[in-house]
Amino acid sequence: MAEPGRLPEALASFALRHLGPGAGPAVERLRAAHPDADATALRSLVVTRGRRRVTAEGSFVGGPFMLFIPVAFCGALLSQVRIVLELAATEGLDTTDPQRAAELLVLQGVYADTTAARAALDAAPDRPRPEKRPGRVAAFRALVLRMAWLLGLLTPSDEKVGRWTRVGQWALVGCVFLVGLVVPLVWLPYMAYSYNRATTRLTDRATVFYVGSRDRRTPRGVRVDPATAVAGLRALASMTLPAVALLLLIATDTRIAGGRWPVAGIVLTTSCLVTGGWWMWRRQRKRRESSP
């Protein structure tokens, strides 16, 4: 929050310390589980598993949980970093070497080369002067936009689009946001698609960086990803309770102070909280059951 501009460096350093030691053993376990897989197949497994993890972690944002977008962004970013580290591990590289953090910043488009990235990582952050410190709202907005840019959800460096295309993209985001205020989890499929596309770009860059060519056996975007399909089904299921509640409201002609709108607001808010809370409880229960 104090230095949104140094988010990439802070994230890379944090990921190297906490994810680097486990990336190598994770690849070894994957290799042991698939002894017949060659180097290309192993990279494909790493990418496929990691992309689904990013999509699942990041797309669980919507309805009453929109305020948790920064948390989901951070989780998705760390999952993307884990993919990059595991790809490096498939090539026999040390995932705890500081050079991996510099390579990550290059792959994210923060710096043009690893020399500049290493210099930025080694440099002590400049403390902002009190009179120049941004307000909490401005700092929060800058932090969220920075994370979205790192994730590849905003203006990817490898994609050039026209002005009207960009206007259409932002209009779509606005429409999804407005609908999401009423129907819980409705923008799960939209976010799942965006995360899947952005992560595919990152893994393609990482594969070219570490291997020298793009793996053609890695599943491409023409197929329907299971995580995206599940997200779509969840979004459709989440519409059931608000829709039924509104139908009952119309059928019973329930009113407060002579109007239907107050009742509709209460019904929609309650149904969103109930539906979204049930999804979150179910997700947490699965995590506890799968944890050792």
Which residue has 């998705």 as its token pair? 76
Dihedral class, residue 212 (left if φ above 0, else alpha if ψ from -120 to 50, else beta): left
Collect all residues with Cβ–Cβ distance below 8 Å to 289 and sequence separation of at least 6: none
Q: If residue 186 lies in a helix (H) or strand (E), which one and from where to where?
A: none
Across the strands, what pairs with 259? 256
The greatest distance separating any two alpha carbons of the chain, rounded to the nearest whole angstrom, comes to 71
- d(C-alpha 26, C-alpha 261), whole Å: 53
pLDDT tens, the chain, 292 aa long: 667 778 888 888 998 999 999 999 999 999 999 988 888 899 999 998 888 888 777 666 544 455 567 777 888 888 899 999 999 999 999 999 999 999 999 998 888 889 998 998 887 555 554 455 556 677 677 777 777 777 776 654 445 556 676 677 667 666 666 666 666 556 667 677 778 888 888 999 999 999 886 655 555 544 555 655 665 666 666 667 677 777 787 788 777 767 777 777 777 777 767 776 777 777 677 667 655 5
C-beta separation of 98 from 119 below 8 A? no
C-beta separation of 76 from 147 below 8 A? no
**How far is CA 265 from each of CA 96, 102, 183, 236, rounded to the nearest angstrom?**
52, 49, 12, 21
pLDDT at residue 76 in the model: 83
Collect all residues with Cβ–Cβ distance below 8 Å to 184 and sequence separation of at least 6: 62, 63, 64, 238, 242, 271, 272, 273, 275, 276, 279
- d(C-alpha 206, C-alpha 224), whole Å: 23
Q: If residue 37 lies in a helix (H) or strand (E), which one and from where to where?
A: none
C-beta separation of 84 from 104 below 8 A? yes
Q: If residue 60 lies in a helix (H) or strand (E), which one and from where to where?
A: none
pLDDT at residue 6 in the model: 81
Collect all residues with Cβ–Cβ distance below 8 Å to 52 and sequence separation of at least 6: 225, 226, 227
